Amino acid sequence: MALSIIRRAVRSRLRSGHRSLTTDPHRWDQPPAPRVFSGIQPTGIPHLGNLLGALQSWVSLQGEFSSVLYSIVDLHSITVPQEPESLRGSVLDMAACLLACGVDPDKSCLFQQSQVPEHAELGWVLSCVTSMPRLRHLPQWKMKSQNDGSVGLFIYPVLQAADILLYHSTHVPVGEDQVQHLELTQDLARIFNRRYGEFFPIPRALMSNAKKIRSLRDPSVKMSKSDPQPLATVRLTDAPEDIVLKFRKAVTDFTSEVTYDPETRAGVSNLVAIHSAVSGLTPKEVVRQSRGLDTAQYKLVVAEAVIAKLVPIREEIHRLRGDTGYLTEVLTRGTHRAREMAAPVYDTVCRMVGLR
């Protein structure tokens, strides 16, 4: 019902001429204003690495840019099997987590990707201007397919490009492991522009300066929501006693002194990086303050610092999760705003390609 109301409203605004197009459908009337887009999959509660590496940046970008869109990208999540009821709940869980971390629906457009059908529609158009060899080179396909991946898993980087280009986004916050996907987006924008006329801006990367947070059980890999080891990942909803246990069991080495040397002491250096990120201190300052502590004692210091950071977020997540009406209203309002931006872009794409 909500989606049908949104569709009627968007069609009405389009009929009334509410779009930023000139009489030439191949040109916009002015250069695109700076706009940020990013998305997150609703596949489990975000963890400490997500907070320190991406979500804190999302919050700060709301004050730096006048137009910011954050999407819960549920279409991406079904590239691997999901339980339908669990997925529906996970969308609301993710909305609660983002709001609790500081995403403000009055400063940014927070919405559910699947409720804006232009994402999938533009994804199809862009899939027709790329090649299979280009997609095979992307590392995620090589890592995740294991020779039996779905077609969706193979082409989801094209949908990711559509997510960004659909809003004429100019800036995309990315980590090191996402750079190649943004390069694909840039390539597809250039190919479309050469073939049909200048239309899409070439989005730029906003590289995060945050240190990559590693698994507590295997510091050679980054912290992950999908890690099968329950003690490896600190989630935003973990209880304080669980956080203490995870840090007590964190892998370090046989040297008791606290030092920061990621190359030779990955485990303890990961703890220092976490402590630095949650406290605002530099790694050097953290090490100086930790003189006289052995690694067993230092683990508890880091756990306390993480608990102080996460407890307010955890409490707010639980409060918001109890108000599903509010979460639904936030996403519906965001969907309405997203469709108002997406519809004229896709309408122009269709006209340029010859579909309308």
Q: What is the per-residue pLDDT across 146-161, written as a single tens digit (0 to 9) for each? A: 556 788 888 999 999 9
Is residue 220 situated within a structural domain? Answer: no
Predicted pLDDT at 167: 98
Please report, for the domain that includes residue 137, its CATH number: 3.40.50.620
Domain annotation covers residue 229: no
Q: Is residue 219 part of a domain?
A: no
User: Do 309 and 160 fall into the same domain?
Assistant: no
Domain containing 56: what range?
A: 2-212+323-353
Catalytic residues: 144, 222, 225
Confidence (pLDDT) at 12: 45
Least confident of 30-34, 67-71, 263-267: 30-34
Whether residues 173 and 85 fall in one domain: yes
Distance, in Å, from the CA atom of 217 to the CA atom of 246, rounded to the nearest integer, reads 9
For residues 34 and 207, which has the higher predicted lDDT (pLDDT)?
34
Residue 243: how many other CB atoms lie within 10 Å: 22
Measured between its terminal Cα atoms, the distance across the chain in Å is 27
Say how far apart CA 320 and CA 32 lie, in whole Å.
Answer: 35
In this structure, are 145 and 160 located in the same domain?
yes
Strand partners, 172: 205
CATH number of domain containing 292:
1.10.240.10
Question: Do 58 and 76 share a domain, yes or no?
Answer: yes
Residues 262 and 194 in one domain: no
Q: How many domains does the chain have?
A: 2
d(CA 336, CA 349): 20
Q: Are 302 and 172 within one domain? A: no
pLDDT at 132: 87
Instruction: Report yes or no on 221 lying in a domain.
Output: no
Residue type, 156: Y
Same-domain status, 46 and 142? yes
**Region 210-217: what's the mean pLDDT?**
91
**In angstroms, what CA-CA distances link 238 with 116, 203, 284?**
32, 36, 28
Q: Do 291 and 337 lie in a common domain?
A: no
Report residue 336's pLDDT band, with 50, 70 and 90 as the boundaries. very high
| Contacts of residue 333, Cβ cutoff 8 Å, sequence gap at least 6 | 105
**In this structure, which amino acid lies at residue 170?**
T
Instruction: Indicate if 208 and 256 belong to the same structural domain.
Output: no
- C-alpha to C-alpha distance for 69 and 35, rounded to whole angstroms: 8
Instruction: Give the CA angle between residues 62, 347, 111 to the nearest 5°.
Output: 30
In a domain? residue 313: yes
Distance between CA 282 and CA 269 in Å, rounded?
A: 12
The model carries a pTM of: 0.88
Task: Place 356 in a pLDDT band, splitting at 50, 70 and 90.
Answer: very high
Q: What is the arithmetic mean of pLDDT over 39-58?
A: 95
Position 152 scores a pLDDT of 87
Report yes or no on 234 lying in a domain. Answer: no
Query: Are 306 and 346 contained in the same domain?
Result: no
Residues 36 and 167 in one domain: yes
Q: Is residue 235 part of a domain?
A: no
Tell me the average pLDDT across 225-230.
92
Residues 148 and 266 in one domain: no
In a domain, 222, yes or no: no
3-state secondary structure of 283: helix
The Cβ of residue 149 has, within 10 Å, a number of other Cβ atoms equal to 17
